[in-house]
Amino acid sequence: MVRRRTLLGGVAASGLLLGFGAAPARAALLPIRTCDDWGARPPSSPTTVLHQQPERILVHHTATENVTDYSEAHAHEHARWIQNHHMDDNGWIDSGQHFTNSRGGFLLEGRHGSLDALHAGDRIVQGAHCPGQNNIAIGIENEGLYTSEEPRPEQWDSLVSFCAYTCEQYGIPPTAIDGHRDHYAETQCPGDKLYAALPRLREEVARVLG
């Protein structure tokens, strides 16, 4: 099983510890790199902003190699690869997912406008990560293939941080953190190992939120 650790970076500095003990009044959030930070291309056409709160979070994996380069530079490179694939191969206007979580635990904005919408807490950018869910679910891609391997501790901690903050901002209950396969029968995403860890993810997010 993935080891429990304290959250990294800004969350640790804020005094938020996942595990036992009192929950903070607000969920802290690890830094999220914006589309500009990682060198995203502009969308091919304007993204659609819906003035409504999403109903759930959908957890994905990228089904790419479980690389051992955990650097921020690699996280940025991978985000550019995803966007190029989604725009050039899939014909989408931008990255399909709202956010990306790298193997090194770096969180990145995926589709333009998603971070501003998250901070506002009253809107969602229409995504392209799951048919039937793109207007009502926040999609987060976790870099890697998790059919027989679990996410690294740093990646797990950043996923917990992201989900806790997102649940708080949008009023999403932790029970509404689902896997991609829960809403799309033609995929095994986010992989058997990560999917099996979702009950633990819901529990840890609920603990953060008190």
Q: What is the pLDDT of residue 26?
A: 60
pTM of the complete model: 0.87
Residue 93 domain-assigned? yes
Residue 88 maps to a domain: yes
Would you state the pLDDT for residue 18?
Answer: 35
Band of the pLDDT at 30, cuts 50, 70, 90?
confident
Task: Quote the percentage of the chain above a pLDDT of 90.
Answer: 85
Asked whether residue 1 is domain-assigned, the answer is: no
- Residue 111 inside a domain? The answer is yes
Span 166-202, pLDDT tens digits: 999 999 999 999 999 999 999 999 999 999 999 999 9
| pLDDT tens by residue, 51-76 | 999 999 999 999 999 999 999 999 99
Q: What is the mean pLDDT of the chain?
A: 89
- What number is the average pLDDT over the span 157-166? 97
Q: Does any domain span residue 98?
A: yes
CATH number of residue 39's parent domain: 3.40.80.10
Q: How many domains does the chain have?
A: 1
Confidence at residue 22, expressed as pLDDT on a 0 to 100 scale: 37
The range of the structural domain enclosing residue 61 comes to 9-209
Return d(Cα 200, Cα 206) in angstroms, integer: 10
Distance CA 55, CA 183 (A): 13
Does residue 16 have a pLDDT over 50?
no
What number is the average pLDDT over the span 26-51? 92
What pLDDT does 27 receive?
67
The larger pLDDT score, comparing residue 26 to residue 98, is at 98
78 inside domain: yes
- Looking at the predicted structure, is the pLDDT value of residue 122 above 60? yes
Kindly state whether residue 4 falls inside one of the protein's structural domains: no
Residue 59 lies in a domain: yes
